[in-house]
Structure 1
């Protein structure tokens, strides 16, 4: 039996089941669920956390009537946080270990929050950023979401963009339930519009819903932002949120970038206000859970409260987020907690709130924090929580990690961009209760704490690395099925072979799998039409096919190849003006 055949059966066996008995509580009494997660917003970009420059009045109002986790952590970068959020497990268990070149794909055997809620009778929809695979069986629509409106890859403006739609935040080309659609409007507005339409239709049908709104804002690029808000912020003084003094030559450029980021954040804030207005119109605010968080630290070195660091870092400024939990029916407005919580806890918490029994076969790393906010049980065990992310194909022991055990933080900030670190291991220890900015390294004063946390980290690393056989092997894209008639392969999910991964003169290959041999039409697409005539070589498991590349054409270079059943390594290369490179994208169509 091939993987494409046993996958649905596996999902069925380990999926989450619930029965709404006619003699018990009816389904309509369960809460609806909305999770909103911004991209690169950072843990200090909120008025209620002391930011007086970036305006977030709607989130400030949400904070005033919500529960709040003040000691909540995420991963240093996008995809790892999303994998943990969707599974309740550390991302190293899910094969999602990086943000690009085939390592932001999550193993399709993972059971997601959307699958659990779908199997419990909820209607599910995602709007915005998925970032864990663009092809079957890795897409959000394959992982439990009945409705989806998303962009590909890690963000608009990346090599996964559809040809002709590169970088468009306004009037973007998106994918609705797997089909490419041209949209009109600004991306964040469009995602909230679609989410509210889904909520409206579902609520009026009497069904429960789970809505995941994952904005790509305020992630770059920054050239296409809400212009009215940008014009307002162009006049703002961002000095209060700068971490370092800047040379006058850099100051103007930095202020302009911050004005664009701030415009995107305030636009998200306005949409949060529109969302709550919709819930009020439908009369469902009281029993709808609305969660708000950001996915990692800020995308510039700016205000993060009493912390240090930014996106990609394992210092607190790179991995902290407030978590707002709005549920008037059960959570009081002044409910707060300083307990150590993280992204791995969100899925168990939501299933707890929805009273969904989780099979023992579903092994969470997280736990429900709902009792902390409802007052049901405010006890919380001392726990160790680990955060590690860095570039590369296989995680390395000790490379760019932090382990937390309140109030301690043991950290080795060796650099996200380094696949491996060189030199002696130098661990830093901080007491965050007295030193949130991590200014006083206590490693020499408390060697016993260092040793305990180091052993805890080593045990964690060994555990997550042995989740499955060949734990860090990249997931494969399955081709030739009815689930995806046309497979578009992009540099987001290729395995990098030479050059800089997304540079025009780089090359790579894709890891595929097919249930049976078949003929495929293959189209090679190039990033530009400005190239000479050439001959390209397409290689599948070492079998080469030649194809002529016409001068001055970006796409339309097609041929037919026979691909075998089983695992396939597909590559293509062409030489333009003496530079050998791979295509920008490949389109596969089974014949």
Structure 2
């Protein structure tokens, strides 16, 4: 008997050791993942792509030591790119169709790359810009990110800013795991520092990590930029990267704006260098994937290489980004591919690298491009990519889209700022292999190609528009749960109903859902300098009133019984003969 106990104990120890060995080996074999995406940087704002004015030495070095995709496409504006990156699906499948007024919220039933990697044992974190919903159940902390340090809305300096911290890139008030937190430092530096902290903790604990660093730079506003870099760039002549010569009266202001944008970009570049030095110090660079891309075209009309266009355009300058893929363990330096790839491919590619299955209960539009960079394949089967984004609650067929089917590009640049267009689409056709700047429209000479690609586009639009019943109905903010007892409603996520969407004359409403009826404190926050007024609050069948004190933004409080289920909440602030909406509304379950 004693011998059996010893043998059994020894076997148990050996078995435990085997388990420990296997787990450790798995962690060692799986790569860590870092995705860095800048905001409005543009596809030509890199030294390695020929920009001789804006300094990006760290990114230039990264590109020289990495794989690079030269035909990588993104959406023409922010939130749609982010939805596709997170899910591997066209954004029209995700309910995220625009950038504001409730159209940028992503369906909480979408499965994100963060959820997939978290469930596979990765420690996950997001730092910077989410832009897919500010309230439960659409926050990053509800969608797979275990650690988050973010701003609300589509950027700092928008109506979703915390009261008293509006527009602050330096010493901003951010949201740390859902808690409003004043910070010290420049926002981009803070994001990278927080990501590095998660990386250090993960390495110390022997865990794999996935960090998503999504800077809001160089997105406007441009009043608050890294001062030292700004002063340096004030001495720089930006004429070589101007596409159009501005009016002489505007030249000075345009040069100043470009100096501010360049300072923000070089600051990101410096942080990339800091990140790589940390990976080297922790001895994890070899098996860490670091991806760098921008979310859409540049936020001014400036150098975009051999393309034309800018942010919001469906010309290539508005929807192309370099994709730098750094993974020394598997991807050789200077590996390049000009195969057609896009934001929808990033999730399946990274899951492929991490040996994690993509969700099998939904359509995944993207595919892994990893074989192109590891040398396993020279090319992937031919495919088409469609990019479409415009204003409006429901996408309109043929409105502001581009279909890519190498070498062809079928495009209808009808304008991002327009809700709809009228009449027949004026389709343009370009052979990008011969005409990357889209100078020669071949639609009249190649009608058979236009008709074929037009049919392909229509099939795509019908497919992505039928993902679910009421495909474009917006997700609802869920209130009164332990996940988010205080819900701050902002103009970012309201449904616009009157005036300019973010103007003082505007009004709108929020689509809410409550698991049960309950008593809530309701605070109405108004614009600066608003005179004394009365506000009427409507929440489904419930109504309430609150007095607005003159020149007082906050503290206008009442208590209401809010109903169970789905309902609409609106606030009408009566100012003489005008009725306007609030700036924000705070609901707190009692």
Report the alpha carbon displacement of residue 220 of structure 1 after superposing the two structures with TM: 0.1
How far apart are the structure 1 equivalents of 2:217 and 2:437?
27
- SS of 1:411 mapped into structure 2: strand
Contact 1:20 1:27 (8 Å CA) reproduced: no
The equivalences for 1:520-559 within 5 A come to: 520-528=520-528, 530-559=529-558
Report the alpha carbon displacement of residue 531 of structure 1 after superposing the two structures with TM: 2.6
How far apart are the structure 1 equivalents of 2:79 and 2:96?
7
CA displacement 1:427-469 (0-9 Å, x = unmatched) = 0000000100000001111111111110110000000000000
How far apart are the structure 2 equivalents of 1:272 and 1:211?
13
Contact 1:36 1:293 (8 Å CA) reproduced: yes
What is the match of residue 339 of structure 2?
339
Task: Rate the CA distance shift 1:462–1:20 in 2: closer, same or farther, 3 A.
Answer: farther
TM-score by length of 2: 0.96
How far apart are the structure 2 equivalents of 1:552 and 1:384?
55
Higher alpha-carbon deviation: 118-127 or 568-577: 568-577
2:156 matches 1:156: yes
What is the match of residue 503 of structure 1?
503
What is the match of residue 4 of structure 2?
none
Contact 2:542 2:563 (8 Å CA) reproduced: no
User: Number of residues paired by the alignment?
Assistant: 572
CA displacement 1:459-506 (0-9 Å, x = unmatched) = 000000000000000110000000001000000000001000000121
How far apart are the structure 2 equivalents of 1:53 and 1:573?
50
How far apart are the structure 2 equivalents of 1:157 and 1:23?
45
How far apart are the structure 1 equivalents of 2:47 and 2:122?
34
CA displacement 1:248-291 (0-9 Å, x = unmatched) = 11111100000000000000000000000000010000000000
- SS of 2:34 mapped into structure 1: strand
What is the match of residue 11 of structure 1?
none
Report the alpha carbon displacement of residue 576 of structure 1 after superposing the two structures with TM: 2.4
Report the alpha carbon displacement of residue 323 of structure 1 after superposing the two structures with TM: 0.2
What is the match of residue 65 of structure 1?
65
- SS of 2:321 mapped into structure 1: coil
- SS of 2:158 mapped into structure 1: coil
- SS of 1:567 mapped into structure 2: strand
How far apart are the structure 2 equivalents of 1:76 and 1:131?
15
How far apart are the structure 2 equivalents of 1:164 and 1:326?
40
What is the match of residue 583 of structure 2?
584
Report the alpha carbon displacement of residue 579 of structure 1 after superposing the two structures with TM: 2.7
2:475 matches 1:475: yes
How far apart are the structure 2 equivalents of 1:275 and 1:425?
47
Contact 1:410 1:430 (8 Å CA) reproduced: yes
- SS of 1:85 mapped into structure 2: helix
What is the match of residue 5 of structure 1?
none
CA displacement 1:372-403 (0-9 Å, x = unmatched) = 00011223111111000000100000000000
What is the match of residue 168 of structure 1?
168
Report the alpha carbon displacement of residue 532 of structure 1 after superposing the two structures with TM: 2.5
Report the alpha carbon displacement of residue 20 of structure 1 after superposing the two structures with TM: 10
How far apart are the structure 2 equivalents of 1:89 and 1:392?
20
2:213 matches 1:213: yes
Contact 1:20 1:26 (8 Å CA) reproduced: no
What is the match of residue 306 of structure 1?
306
2:97 matches 1:120: no
How far apart are the structure 2 equivalents of 1:521 and 1:500?
28
Unaligned runs of 5+ residues in structure 1 are 1-18
Contact 2:74 2:343 (8 Å CA) reproduced: yes
Q: What is the aligned-residue RMSD (CA, Å)?
A: 1.3
Contact 2:527 2:583 (8 Å CA) reproduced: yes
Higher alpha-carbon deviation: 532-541 or 468-477: 532-541
- SS of 2:545 mapped into structure 1: strand
The equivalences for 1:46-445 within 5 A come to: 46-445=46-445
Contact 2:313 2:319 (8 Å CA) reproduced: yes
- SS of 1:26 mapped into structure 2: helix
Unaligned runs of 5+ residues in structure 2 are 1-18
Contact 1:532 1:577 (8 Å CA) reproduced: no
Superposition misfits of 4+ residues, deviation over 6 angstroms: none
Contact 1:314 1:411 (8 Å CA) reproduced: yes
Task: Rate the CA distance shift 1:23–1:136 in 2: closer, same or farther, 3 A.
Answer: closer
Report the alpha carbon displacement of residue 29 of structure 1 after superposing the two structures with TM: 1.6
CA displacement 1:26-48 (0-9 Å, x = unmatched) = 22320000000000000000000
What is the match of residue 11 of structure 2?
none
How far apart are the structure 1 equivalents of 2:131 and 2:361?
26
How far apart are the structure 2 equivalents of 1:21 and 1:406?
48
Contact 2:96 2:107 (8 Å CA) reproduced: yes
TM-score by length of 1: 0.95
Task: Rate the CA distance shift 1:555–1:20 in 2: closer, same or farther, 3 A.
Answer: farther
What is the match of residue 447 of structure 1?
447
How far apart are the structure 1 equivalents of 2:534 and 2:445?
65
How far apart are the structure 2 equivalents of 1:294 and 1:306?
17
Contact 2:352 2:368 (8 Å CA) reproduced: yes
- SS of 1:538 mapped into structure 2: strand
How far apart are the structure 1 equivalents of 2:452 and 2:156?
43
Contact 1:313 1:319 (8 Å CA) reproduced: yes
Contact 1:39 1:78 (8 Å CA) reproduced: yes
